[in-house]
Every structure is written in C-alpha cells, then in structure tokens.
Amino acid sequence: MAMSGKGLRVKVATASNGPFNEVQDLNEASMSMEGDNQDITTFSSDFIKRLQGLKDVSYSLSGFYKPSDTNGQVAIKNAFLNDTALYVQFLPDGTTGFQQEVKVSSFEVSASADGVVEVSIEFEGSGAITSV
C-alpha cells in the first residue's frame, strides 16, 4: 500500500539515545543507500561477478529556513560549524525508519526577491545505519 509523503519526519539529536527533535518546515527529504560493488570476475567467467564492499548513506533535506528551530535547523548548523556529533532519524511513515550518526556536509540558505528564504541540508552517514 502506498504511503502519503506528508507523513515523513526527519529528527535530529546530539546523542545517539536522544532526545530526537523534528526538523521543522521541511518540504522535501531523501535518503540514498549505496554499496561499492567490487568486480571479482575471473578469466574463465562468462558473466561479471561482484562482491559488495563498503556501504554509504546520504541524506538531502530542503524546505523553509527557520532560525527559531533551535532543536532542528539550528542544531544541524551548529553541528556543522563545530564538527560535533549529530544523529538523524529518517522516518518515512513518521514513526519507523532508520537512524544513523551523520556529518553535515552542506548547510545552504538561499532566497530570491520574488520568493521565500529556503534551506538545503546535506548529511553523509558515519558508521552503521540501524532500524528504528
């Protein structure tokens, strides 16, 4: 059964056991899991054989800039500026999903004269991802 995208929640914390707080005013979010597949084909093979090596996870968030979101957007910005620990919960149904320690790779605020002030945030996973 399909799920409505409006139920997705992204939460962050400065400790692995929380408390986790929802990042406010987001309107787009994605998580990408990738595996670094290694070619292990030998000379007599007719088809390529692969072995999965390292795995990687990245996150992309965007929405409206909200400097009053001290436990969400501001906590993310501070983790970037101070290179401190940050943990993310990516919850597609609003309750269950994934948790991982992350490093903030990008925190961008932008605006145009005929628009609103927007925020774009990129995380890179650091260590194993777990289910929550």
pLDDT at 72: 98
Q: Evaluate whether residue 45 is within a structural domain.
A: no
The 10s digit of each residue's pLDDT in 62-121 is 999 999 999 999 999 999 999 999 999 999 999 999 999 999 999 999 999 999 999 999
The pTM (predicted TM-score) of the whole model is 0.91
The 10s digit of each residue's pLDDT in 1-20 is 888 899 999 999 999 999 99
Q: What is the mean pLDDT of the chain?
A: 97
Q: Evaluate whether residue 48 is within a structural domain.
A: no
The 10s digit of each residue's pLDDT in 47-70 is 999 999 999 999 999 999 999 999
Q: Evaluate whether residue 57 is within a structural domain.
A: yes
pLDDT at 3: 84
Q: Evaluate whether residue 46 is within a structural domain.
A: no
- Report the share of the chain in percent with pLDDT over 70: 100
Q: Evaluate whether residue 42 is within a structural domain.
A: no
Q: Report yes or no: 119 and 74 within 8 Å, Cβ to Cβ.
A: no
Domains in the chain, number:
1
Q: How far apart are CA 41 and CA 30, in angstroms?
A: 33
Q: Evaluate whether residue 47 is within a structural domain.
A: no
Q: Evaluate whether residue 67 is within a structural domain.
A: yes
Q: Evaluate whether residue 78 is within a structural domain.
A: yes
Q: Which domain holds residue 118?
A: 23-37+53-131
pLDDT at 7: 94
Nearest to 66 by CA among 121, 6, 19, 3: 121
Q: How far apart are CA 122 and CA 105, in angstroms?
A: 5
